[in-house]
Chain A
Amino acid sequence: MSDLSGSMNETQEKFAPATPLNPRHRAILVGASVGLGAALARKLANEGYSLALVSRQKEKLDALCAEINQAAGEMRAAAYIHDVKNYDEVPDLLRKMVADLGGLDTFIFSAGINLPPGGIDKYNFEYDRQMVEVNLIGAMAWLTPVAEMFQSAKRGQIVGIGSVAGDRGRVGNPGYNTSKAGLHTFLEALRNRLTRHGVNVLTVKPGFMKTDMLKAAQGGTPLAIEPEKAASDIYKAMQKRRQTVYTLFLWQYIMLVIRHIPSFIFRRLSF
Chain B
Amino acid sequence: MLNTFTQLENFGHSLKSPAYLIQPKTSEDIYEAFRLAKKLGLTVTARGGGRSYNDAALNAGGIVLDTSGMNQITSWDSATGLVRCEPGVTLEMLWHKVLPDGWWPPVVSGTMFTTLGGCLSANIHGKNNFKMGTIGEHVVEFTAVLPTGAEVTCSPKLNGDLFYSMISGLGMLGIFTSVTLQMKHIYSGLIEVNAWPTSTLKQQLHDLEENAPNYDYIVGWLDTIQTQHGQIHAATSLKEGDDPEAAKTVQLNYQQLPDRLFGVMPKSLLHYFMTPFGNNFLWGLVNTAKYVSALRKHTFRQSHAAFHFLLDYVPFWELSYGRGGLIQYQSFLPKETALPAWTEMLSFAKKRGLPSYLGVTKRHRPDKFLLTHALDGFSLAMDFKVTDRNRAELSKVIQEYDRIVLEHGGRFYFAKNSETTAETALAFYGEETVDKFKKLKKRCDPNGLLESDLYRRIFG
Contact = CB atoms under 8 A, between A and B. Distances in A.
A14 B456 CA distance: 10
Interface centre among A18, A92, A100 (most CB of B within 10 A): A18
Interface in B43-82: 43, 55, 60-62
Interface in B427-455: 453
24 contacts: A14-B460, A18-B15, A18-B60, A20-B10, A21-B392, A21-B394, A21-B395, A22-B391, A23-B391, A95-B40, A95-B41, A95-B61, A99-B42, A101-B60, A101-B61, A103-B19, A148-B3, A148-B5, A149-B5, A152-B4, A152-B6, A153-B18, A154-B7, A155-B7
Given A20-B15, A21-B327, A153-B7, A99 B62 contact: yes
B418 A104 contact: no
Contacts of B457: 17, 19
Given A23-B16, A96-B41, A154-B7, 12 more contacts: A17-B460, A19-B418, A19-B457, A20-B418, A20-B419, A21-B327, A21-B394, A95-B61, A100-B61, A103-B61, A104-B61, A155-B18
Interface string B398-440: 1000000000000000000011000000000000000000000
Q: Is the interface of B mostly helix, strand, loop or mixed?
A: loop
Contacts of A101: 60-61
B325 interface: yes
Interface in A121-171: 148-150, 152-155
Interface of B: 2-7, 10, 12, 14-19, 40-43, 55, 60-62, 324-325, 327, 386, 391-392, 394-395, 398, 418-419, 453, 456-457, 460
Interface in A89-132: 92, 95-96, 98-104
A20 B386 CA distance: 8
A10 B16 CA distance: 28
A107 to B, nearest CB: 13
A155 B19 CA distance: 12
A19 B15 CA distance: 7
A21 B460 contact: no
Contacts of B386: 20-21
B397 to A, nearest CB: 9
A22 B390 CA distance: 11
A144 to B, nearest CB: 12
Chain A interface category by residue count: 20 to 34
Contacts of A102: 17, 60-61, 453
Contacts of A20: 10, 12, 14-15, 324-325, 327, 386, 391, 418-419
Nearest to B6: A153
B327 A99 contact: no
Contacts of A103: 16-19, 60-61
Contacts of B60: 18, 99, 101-103
Given A104-B18, A152-B6, A98 B61 contact: yes
10 smallest beta-carbon distances between A and B, as pairs: A20-B14, A102-B60, A99-B61, A103-B60, A98-B61, A21-B395, A152-B5, A17-B457, A149-B5, A153-B7
A91 to B, nearest CB: 10
A243 to B, nearest CB: 22
Given A17-B457, A18-B15, A153 B61 contact: no
Contacts of A98: 18, 61
A177 to B, nearest CB: 35
Contacts of B6: 152-153
B61 A19 contact: no
Contacts of A95: 2, 40-42, 61
B233 to A, nearest CB: 29
